Amino acid sequence: MKICFPVLENRGLESVPHAHFGTAPFFLVCDMESEETSLIENRGDHQSHGGCAPVNTLRDAGVEAVVVGGIGPRAVIRFQEEGIRVFRAVEGTVKEHIELLRNDQVPAWDTDDNCQDGEFGGV
């Protein structure tokens, strides 16, 4: 399965998921089986809150799930429409999240956790 982690900087598997999907400068895509990674630049970073949802780009890259500390309700709905699961990041690196995902220990995104009025949860 391919998982997307919004990140501030590319440190490969040692990257840490960013606290907000839309403002992350990069999306680190990791194949859970091979642990190979690729990087997608978020061309919509620094847009106004709620103005960036590169769901199609991630879908076209074969992403099946996103792990993030914060995300707006419109982005969650768009991911759900595309069949892409959204998980809530916990503390740790991408590599640690992959292991947690393998053991079903990363919580699915609860819509009550969505970003509201420019505020978002963090890790």
In a domain, residue 120? The reply is no
| Sheet strands side by side (includes 85-88) | 37-41, 26-31, 2-7, 65-68, 85-88
Q: Check if the beta carbon of residue 29 is closer than 8 Å to that of residue 41.
A: no
In a domain, residue 121? The reply is no
In a domain, residue 76? The reply is yes
In a domain, residue 119? The reply is no
Full domain range(s) for residue 92: 2-113
Reported pTM: 0.83
Q: How far is CA 65 from CA 9, 61, 111, 121, in A?
A: 20, 11, 16, 19
Give the integer Cα–Cα distance in Å for 66 and 83.
11
pLDDT (0 to 100) of residue 39: 97
pLDDT tens digit at each of 123 positions of the chain: 999 999 999 999 999 999 989 889 999 999 999 989 999 999 864 454 544 458 989 999 999 999 999 998 888 999 999 999 999 999 999 999 999 999 999 999 976 655 544 443 444
In a domain, residue 123? The reply is no
Q: What is the CATH number of the domain that holds 16?
A: 3.30.420.130
Give the integer Cα–Cα distance in Å for 82 and 96.
26
Quick one: DSSP state of residue 82? T
Give the integer Cα–Cα distance in Å for 32 and 98.
7
In a domain, residue 35? The reply is yes
In a domain, residue 122? The reply is no
Contacts of 107 (CB under 8 A, 6+ apart): 87, 88, 90
Tell me how many domains the chain contains. Answer: 1
